[in-house]
Amino acid sequence: MYDFDFEKPSSIADAVAALATEDAQALGGGQTLIPTLKQRLASPSKLVSLTGIAEMQGVCDDGDAISVGGATVHADVAASGLIPALSDLAGNIGDPAVRNRGTIGGSLANNDPSACYPSAALGLGATITTNARSIAADDYFQGMFETALDEGEIITSVSFPKPQAANYQKFEQPASRFALVGVFVAKTAAGVRVAVTGAAEEGVHRWGAAEAALTANFSADAVPAAPSADGMISDLHGSSEYRAHLVAVLTRRAVAACA
């Protein structure tokens, strides 16, 4: 490690002001940032912890949606149960240590291509609220580790519409417990959304062919054949063809679980 300044503000306004300092970096649960600092892959001059901001913590029932504070840890999302599929997803992230430190805002801001939360946000059509604006999930995710966030912008809360039915299926990489492939299926009054994480080089994305087929007939038998392997990740854990096959398999399982 190396020397840096550390601030733990108690309000969003104070956090934004602290992040205005040149080369300052927001710190959520630190599950990605701290290992990055240890490996000297990043060297901000100041860390601004968001974990002391009370208004950015907790899960609230807003009627047709739930609101999750950006600094809420995975364990609290898992315990809420307000959207069972989302709680189940949160309850299977990493291990207990990760779930009690990692935050939803940190995960969405990092946008790891194998993270679980991005699929829930995209699958449920969530709205990501920052200190400056609200961003629809369809506009928020912009590629591997890329988001619509501007420099110094922080996620203050995330609003998830309640679905008629939803389920998340993850085929996990056993060492990291990240998703080798994960599929979040949500049935809503407007149709079906299918969000895929872990599989593609573009990061989290929607599977349009499956959405169209399932909107017409919400049945596991209606799930199309595996999507094209073009653009799928291929590494020592699985080929692009294997990941494409898993996308279809997990989508069928998620739809069956919804039923």
Q: Give the span between the Cα atoms of 83 and 227, in whole angstroms.
A: 28
Rounded (5°) CA angle 229-234-239: 70
Other CB atoms within 10 Å distance of the CB of residue 97? 9
Match 């990055």 to its residue by tokens: 36
Pick the CATH number of 165-258 from 3.40.50.300, 1.10.357.10, 3.30.390.50, 3.90.320.10: 3.30.390.50
Query: CA–CA separation, 209 vs 244, rounded Å?
Result: 13
**Which pLDDT tens digit goes with each residue over 24-76?**
888 898 887 777 878 887 778 888 999 999 999 999 999 999 999 999 999 99
Least confident of 18-22, 189-193, 204-208: 18-22
Q: What is the CATH number of domain 5-48?
A: 3.30.43.10
Question: Percent of the chain scored above 70 by pLDDT?
Answer: 99
* Beta bridge partner(s), residue 135: 128
Mean pLDDT of the region 145-173? 96
169 strand-pairing partners: 183
pLDDT band at 175 (very low <50, low <70, confident <90, very high): confident
Spatial separation of the C-alpha atoms in residues 243 and 6, rounded to whole Å:
41
Place of tokens 């920052």: 130
Residue spans of beta strands (DSSP E) within 110-229: 127-130, 134-136, 155-161, 165-172, 179-188, 191-197, 205-206
User: How far apart, in Å, do the first and last CA atoms of the chain sit?
Assistant: 50
The letter for the amino acid at 29 is G
Predicted pLDDT at 43? 78
Residue 111 buriedness (CB in 10 A; 0-12 / 13-18 / 19+) = buried
- pLDDT, residue 85, reads 98
Distances (CA, A) of 175 to 57, 199, 237: 29, 17, 11
* Res. 216: pLDDT tops 70: yes
Q: What is the pTM of this model?
A: 0.94
Q: What is the pLDDT of residues 91-111, one digit of tens each?
A: 999 999 999 999 999 999 999
Structure tokens, 239? 């080929």
Is the four-CA dihedral 48, 49, 53, 56 of positive or negative sign?
A: positive
**Given the structure tokens 């940190």, which residue do they identify?**
106
CATH number belonging to domain 58-161: 3.30.465.10
Q: Is pLDDT above 80 for 1? A: no
Torsion over CA of 211, 69, 199 and 242, rounded to 10 degrees? -90
Mean of all residue pLDDT scores within the chain = 94
Domain residue ranges in the chain: 5-48, 58-161, 165-258
